[in-house]
Amino acid sequence: MQRTIKRFGVMVSASILFLGCEISNFDLQENPNFLTPESADPEYLLNEIQYQFQYFMGLMILNTDDVMRYEAMTDNYRDVVSVDVLDAEWESYFEALNNSRTIEALAAEDESLLFHNAISKLLMGYLTITMVDYVGKMPYTEAVNPSEYPNPRLDDGDDIYRSVLADIDQAVLDIEASNFNFSTDLFYNSDKDKWKAFANTLKLRILVQTKLASSKLGIANAATEINKLMEGDLIDTPTEDFQYIYSTVIEPESRHRYFQRAYVSDIGQYMGNYFMHMLKDSKSMADPRLRYYLYRQADEDPFSIPPYSTCQNESNVDYCYVGDYYRGLDHGENRTGFGDNSKRAVYGIYPGGGTFDEDQFLRASTTSSHLEGAGILPLLTSSFVKFLMAEAALTLETNGDPAVLLEEAIRDSMEKVLGFGNVSSDFEATDNDVDDYVAEVMANYGNAASDAERLDIIITEYYLAAYGNSIEAYNAYRRTGYPSNIQEPINGDTSFPRSFPYSANAVEINRSIKQKQNSERVFWDTNPEGFIK
């Protein structure tokens, strides 16, 4: 199902961007769609980069939703992270990289394009570290220059990160020096202060993410560098959040992918039982975000209409059914196809623009969706930033009290989710609900016996707040090993993907690329083999 959607997305993007021209592997061979500085309109190029940015990030998030248990993984790791899983993303990334380098060449001759170039560098920096975080080594320095490098070599991940850090620094200088705006900025409406805050925040995220391998980036003391960034402007309020906002437009399809999956089509996925358990039952009260995150289509006990599954009688199944009509599956459960598409829990109003759960118990496709698909991609939010800062304060002894930062992070997440879509309902969460939730988390944090337990609490809350952006959870899990109670595959699969394979198309065409194993670790993942499952 996921691959079908991705292939459809490639066809749509091709028709929109190239009026029907065929897409090729842009890092690998000559392509007639490449725009040169002589033929390019920088406004068009930057618009295209923004489109490819959200397209790429949206697909990458889908790739790890099941790996990270937000959705149920109904196969094994090797099948859900197969050699063709990144084919569309690979093409999208190198198309964006080509356009970014074209803008850079134009800006070298035209100072009115400094701001365009800065935005381009920042967006490409985010895309580039995301690709490195998934595949490790990749074509970069020699990429999108097919006449000179028909088989571009692989650059080491740490070298690429160094290049991105330099681009971020240059982007800040270009923003400060620029006198012209970009007229169709889809993220910050040409607000230079917000773009600078994003640049600083992206750099902070990189430093926390690579904290186990800082020396490979030439950073002697990551804490010192993080403290310097914290003295400047960062994304520290929800109004500054870096996010992509979808629309309700149907042609071309511009609605959130979660909405497309559950409200336009009958959902082909199951939500993860571990995730639903953590929201519903891991504390003395339900998570205030529960009805915003998830929508229940039916008020039927799954065991009242057999055969749902035999999972209730099997010792290796942890949850089977978490109750209250939240119907999903355990991680690694491959028994599917019970004809229960209209009975499953699906994506709610946040972040996919679906329906707020008011005990309607109606099929998702027949509800009056609150936002009709106008959801968001929460990419780098103030909540995420404060979780990262709390982690850094605890593990690197950077400035700030990790407990204070943890509470601020949770409250920022609650403010964002509970305020999303202007819900007015007897079922909406209250300030008291939030206060009670925060009080319990902070009591647990205060009672923790070690920094390891405290970090576990921070990353677990980060995991719950990162719904809609499983990239953050995937990175944090590989970096820290938390949440410690995350469900292991009930099928016994121990091949958790420490990285993703290269695009099968890229391996076929580029002689410099040899396929890799999913057990290979990216440069900043220095944790041992078998560290996570």
pLDDT bracket for residue 32 (50, 70, 90): very low
Q: What is the pLDDT of residues 235-248, one digit of tens each?
A: 999 999 999 999 99
- Report the C-alpha gap between 390 and 5 in whole angstroms: 37
Over 80: is that where the pLDDT of 10 sits?
no
- pLDDT above 70 for 232: yes
**Structural domains present in the chain:** 2-190+498-509 (1.25.40.390)
Residue 147 contacts residue 30 (beta carbons within 8 Å): yes
Check whether 11 has a pLDDT greater than 70: no
User: Above pLDDT 70, what percent of the chain?
Assistant: 91
Helix ranges (DSSP H) in 333-381: none
Sign of CA dihedral 250, 34, 160, 241: negative
Q: What is the pLDDT of residues 341-393, one digit of tens each?
A: 999 999 999 999 999 999 999 999 988 777 999 999 999 999 999 999 999 99
pLDDT tens profile 94-110: 999 999 999 999 999 99
418 vs 413: CA distance, rounded Å: 8
pLDDT of the residue at 500:
98
Who's near 515: CB < 8 A, 6+ residues apart? 83, 501, 502, 504, 507
Distances 407 to 232, 410, 457 between C-alpha atoms, Å? 21, 5, 11
Q: What is the mean pLDDT of residues 473-491?
A: 98
Q: If DSSP codes are grouped into helix, strand and coil, which group holds residue 470?
A: helix
Q: What does the pLDDT read at residue 301?
A: 85
pLDDT higher than threshold 70 for residue 30: no
Cβ contacts of residue 427 below 8 Å, gap of 6+? 291, 356, 357, 358, 359
Rounded distance, CA 341 to CA 350, Å? 20
Chain segment 487-496, per-residue pLDDT in tens:
999 999 999 9
CA gap 98, 77 in Å, rounded: 32
Q: Which residues pair with 244 in a beta bridge?
A: 377
Lowest mean pLDDT of 221-225, 364-368, 464-468, 508-512, name the range: 364-368
Q: What is the mean pLDDT of residues 315-337?
A: 93
- Which pLDDT score is estimated for 447? 98
Residues making up the chain, counted from first to last = 533
DSSP of 51-88:
HHHHHHHHHHHHHHHTTTTSB---S-HHHHT-TTTTHH
What average pLDDT is seen over the chain? 92
- Would you state the pLDDT for residue 44? 92
Instruction: Tell me how far apart the 2 most distant CA atoms of the chain are, in Å.
Output: 70
Helices 431-447 and 402-418, axial angle in degrees (round to 10):
150
Rounded CA-CA distance 97/406 in Å is 36
Tell me the mean pLDDT in the region 510-533.
Answer: 97
pLDDT of residue 181: 85
pLDDT in tens, 252-300: 999 999 999 999 988 999 999 999 999 999 999 999 999 999 999 999 8
Digit-coded pLDDT (tens) for 123-168: 999 999 999 999 999 999 999 999 999 999 999 999 999 999 999 9
- Rg of the chain on CA atoms, in Å: 23
Which pLDDT belongs to residue 20? 30
451-465 vs 382-395: helix axis angle to the nearest 10?
A: 170
Nearest CA to 333 out of 302, 298, 303, 309 is that of 309
Q: Where are the alpha helices (DSSP H) in 66-152?
A: 77-80, 87-107, 114-135
Can you name the residues that pair with 283 across neighbouring β-strands? none
pLDDT band at 3 (very low <50, low <70, confident <90, very high): very low
| 403's tokens | 């407990």
Q: pLDDT tens across 498-517, in order?
A: 999 999 999 999 999 999 99
Whether a cis peptide bond, with omega within 30° of 0, leads into 152 is no
Place 36 in a pLDDT band, splitting at 50, 70 and 90. low
Distance of alpha carbon 492 from alpha carbon 410, whole angstroms = 33
Confidence grade of residue 23 (pLDDT, cut at 50, 70, 90): very low
CA angle, 112 then 113 then 115, to 5°:
105
Q: Which amino acid is at 181?
A: N
- 159-211 pLDDT per residue, tens: 999 999 999 999 999 999 998 888 899 999 999 999 999 999 999 999 999 99
Residue 55: both structure tokens together = 């397209």
Written as one string, the DSSP assignment of 414-459 is HHHHHTTT----TTS--HHHHHHHHHHHHHHHHH-SSHHHHHHHHH
The Cα 395–Cα 405 span in angstroms is: 13
The pTM assigned to this predicted structure is: 0.92
Higher-confidence residue: 41 or 517? 517
